[in-house]
Amino acid sequence: MRVPAHSVCAAIRDDIVSGVFERGSRLTEDVLARRYGVSRVPVREALRTLESEGFVVTRRHAGACVAEPSEQEAADLLEVRMLLEPLSAARAAQRRTEAHLKVLRGLVRLGQERVRRGEGEDLRSLGGWFHETLAQASGSPGLIALLTQLRHKTAWMYAVEQPARPADSWAERGALVDAVARGDAERARTLAARLAERAGAAHRLRRPARPAAVPRAARVRPSQRAVNTASGRN
């Protein structure tokens, strides 16, 4: 069975975002094919997609390499994300379904419960799922795809500090869901902009150190990583 290129793409992207592949390092088709247990064909297609997304660049005499975004590029991407998330929330207020509301309210309850219990380990993941669901509720495929890509890239470029008052953050998310449920697009836009501004202030640009001589085996683990062929992410 041929492994879909989008599954290989998601696996490579995840490894770039998590730092398995350092910025500027080469991405050789043969090495990647062995790592993910696939042929070179889906790897080649995945690299083309990742280049279009800005995670990979093709260099003369070096081939595909992990991109090295500048500080200005990183700042611009974060600003674009902060501008688009309020638009997504306003669209969600107009287009959400009851299923979207059920998931959003459930995530808010979980987040608030974790805060009350002092269990902060998965708050960031819950927050990510909340904003992904809110984007899905916008009913705009182009906007959803763009926000998904921006989330991946900002996670790659930035570290995010935990909020000093997480209860306030989840209370604001609850208020945002209420506005979406009422169909109040302007209120949803205002609350989402406030959340995005606070989240943006918590982002700290990653400055990965690049040792002068690191053997390839240390940068790319030789163990093969299975690709989830059921994945629908791209």
CA-CA distance, 173 to 47, in Å (whole number)? 36
Supply 158's token pair: 């930035």
Closest CA to 210 of 77, 57, 65, 61: 65
CA of residue 112 relative to chain centroid, distance: 23
Which phi and psi angles does 204 have, rounded to 5°?
Answer: -125, 125
Residue 200 in 3-state DSSP? helix
| 8 A C-beta contact, residue 133 and residue 95 | no
Question: Which residues of the chain fall short of a pLDDT of 50?
Answer: 1, 211-223, 229-234
Q: What is the predicted pLDDT for the residue at 47?
A: 95
Q: What is the pLDDT of residue 2?
A: 60
- H helix or E strand, kind and range, residue 64: strand 63-66
pLDDT (0 to 100) of residue 208: 59
Residues 6+ apart with CB under 8 A from 128: 151
- Count other C-beta atoms under 10 Å from residue 191's C-beta: 22
Rg (CA), the chain: 19
Residue among 188, 166, 156 nearest 14 (CA): 156
